[in-house]
Structure 1
Amino acid sequence: MEVSSSLRLFGGERILHERIVAGAAELGWAQCAAAPTALGALALARCGRAGAWGIGLNALLDGLPLDSLREVAAEAAWLSRLGCRHLGDVRRLPRAGLARRSERALLQTLGQAYGEEPWSAPWLTLPEVFEARLELPGRVESAPALMFGARRLLLQLCGWLAARQAGLRSFVLRWRHDFHRRDDPPLGELPVRTAEPTRQADHLLRLLGEWLAQVRLAAPVGELSLFCDEIEPLVEATPSLLPGVAEATAGESLAQLIERLSARLGPTQVCRPVPRSDHRPEAQQAWRPAAEAPATDTPEEPAVPQPAWLLSVPLPLATRMERPQLQGDLALLAGPHRIEAGWWDTGHAAAARDYYVASNERVGLVWIYRERRLEEGGGWFLHGRFG
């Protein structure tokens, strides 16, 4: 990681180094080192050295063993027979003789590590599908305790999503049991879905924690893996540089709160209304789990006026001289609008009705219908009120 151009922005070498070490520890990296060259920092990190910011690099590298650089380690067998034990011993060998006896990559790697030759990082190609595994340091017997290892995998997943400028719709956490009964499967998994594309690590961790709290492990777990292949392009809003704005906008969004409540209470306990394409007023809305992705198709607007308030159960109306009564005579202002639908539906009764907009001075505008099916008894019914 090249950081020289970012030192002033992050408050200097020490503060930036502390942030990098803290972030690397969350991802499971045990060693971090700093050096003027990338290969020099890599060699120091492999040997557990902290390195230095441009001070005494040659002396630090000269004392490292041969296996600190991969290309040098490949030639370690015959180099050790020459008495070489450290990188400094290899550098002191005659360059012409070393070039004849070894691969060109050995001298090139040494020059790049010591800053004597230019070095360019290979282009990073991200995989199309994210899959990572983690061997746990000990056996875990409780599902919520898996969050320690799952956190590392989720942070790696969020970094992969950020590099791809994408957000996930779902991911799967899998685990392998160390010891299990013959009848129990050796593997277990927990699929997690989101209502909208996201790559916010905090929200994904909270959501996964809610789901894991409901899981019972069949046997102790020794290995975790995380899989994700359902992603969408996602461009997040640029954070504001004004003081106080970040704190004011912090917290969960409504969609994130719904997802977390659905995971804690159960998907069927948190629902939202979803419009349906149906001519029957009572069937034009259904309740679906709120965590599900919303439907993309929307029903057409009704061709006739419909009220904002519908009665859950239509109210039978009295009649006088075959005219509907509701605190007096009702004057029919518009209609009839005939509906014949629902003969195929088992969830709602079939409808054969003639709808009217009616009114009088006492009740205002109401929506009534005349039942056309004789088996339902016929008659007039109040079904809604206009605002």
Structure 2
Amino acid sequence: MPNRRILSLWFPRLGAERAIRLDPGLDRAPFALVREVGSAQTLASLSRRASAAGLHRGQPLRDAHAMCADLLTRPEVPHREAAFLGALHRWAGKFSPWVAQEAPEGLVIDLTGCAHLFGGEAALLAQVEEDCADLGLTVRAGIADTLGAAWALARHAGGGAAAHRSGDAIDQEARATRSRAGKRRHWERGGVAPASAAPPPDAARIAPPGQTHGVLAPLPVAALRLPEDSVEALHRLGLRRIGDLTGQPRASLARRFGTGLVRRLDQALGSAPEPISPRAAPERFAVRITLPDPIGLEADVTAALERMLPRLCQRLERAGRGARTLRLEAHRTDQSMEWRHVSVARPSHAPDRLHPLLAMKAAEIDAGFGIDMLRLEAIRHEPIRARQPVGHHAAGEAVAERLKAGDGLDDLIARLGARLGLEAITRVHPADSHIPEKGALTYAAAWSAPAGPWPRPPRPRPLTLWRPEPIHGPEGPTVPRQIRWRGRDLTIVHAEGAERIAPEWWLDDPDWRTGQRDYWRVVTDAGDRLWIYYAHGGALSPGWFCQGAFA
């Protein structure tokens, strides 16, 4: 059984380089992503030009602009960085099936038994760097027997130990006294002075099997993934490198710095286990067709869909999934791409239900100089229950049940949504409130079930409701004979009521600050059947208002 070998990948400029991939013009000047930290703005990810200008991560944006006037910035979008890291997760699957993410900028790969497929670990690292260079990404890698050691090599190999801010580090001493630093360190702690020369690149990135201790010894204590306060405390005691900790009694370290320090040290050296929990890359359902000659007619696109859609639906059916949203991409000969989205009210993997919707969207695609590749992907999918094939008699019963279940309504919603947008198709559900204008809730029809039976109101409600409009003229709670509403003088010939409705005392609704209301159904001489009320007054003055009209 080969020794366990772990590869740690760190992408220190992931966010900035992702944005540069989308807009190459951002790389013409120093560029950085900005993160909101409370009321301040700090730099979250920097390009190479920004780092060369002396900027660093975590620097306030004002200080960065003072140092680099031509700095370009964009706001950080964490979910897009996470999605991009997920794409790199799928790419890393070419090296090993055992891949885990270290959010927000790292990947961990278990290379046990896989490195020889690429010609060895050094050749594998060269392949990783070549792939990342093609993607326009900066990567730092480390290979070791443990996850902690690989993490330390990827982030700290080749660098010296960080000095404490007080200036007492040996690396900060004057040239005349620096030559005696090694002897003094040996006299104080019984150790040897660290090598002054940086290790070769390959040796810095790859720890030979069984030599983890020697490779980690010259690295700073921050490589143990310790909190900043613990690192600062170790620096104040002169413990700046991992080799300074390995010779110390574990009980003393645990008593002074907690068990976290000892656990991280043991994990890095392999004395304590640290399992890797790989997360399988999300399954993608997509098909494509490459055309020998460019096409531009709608009929050609529809014919290509007839070949692509059954294959996609078969993959969805085998996985027990149904498409909610499909994305149709048309790649043109001029290296441009146009896409259309289609959503359905209920997840499905039936081609006959999805093809009419895609055909409508195919007519909207501009072929330009010609389309040479089409791609169809289910970007949103949900699990659906399996169905048992039946005979002709049972199929008729199944159709009847389908009509009874409302599948025809779902198809109608999908067709209307393909033209108007699914967010424009809504349905109304009853709400648990005695306030007239709050008696119904509006939901998107595609993501809600049909409403159940509506509760019967204590009194008839108007067909149309609007915000309360003042009625001029009358005073007092008695129903007036003459009113003026919307610029018209009306006479009330019949009135029926009253129905008293109290406000929701636990809410502060501006429309109900007039207190309790007495509602009346009135008929005017002009034929209007109105719903008016008298507000008894609360925070506002009392008066008459009109809120609705009956059919």
TM-score by length of 2: 0.36
More relative contact order, 1 or 2 (CA 8 Å, 6+ apart): 1
Bigger share in helix:
2
TM-score, with structure 1 as normaliser: 0.49
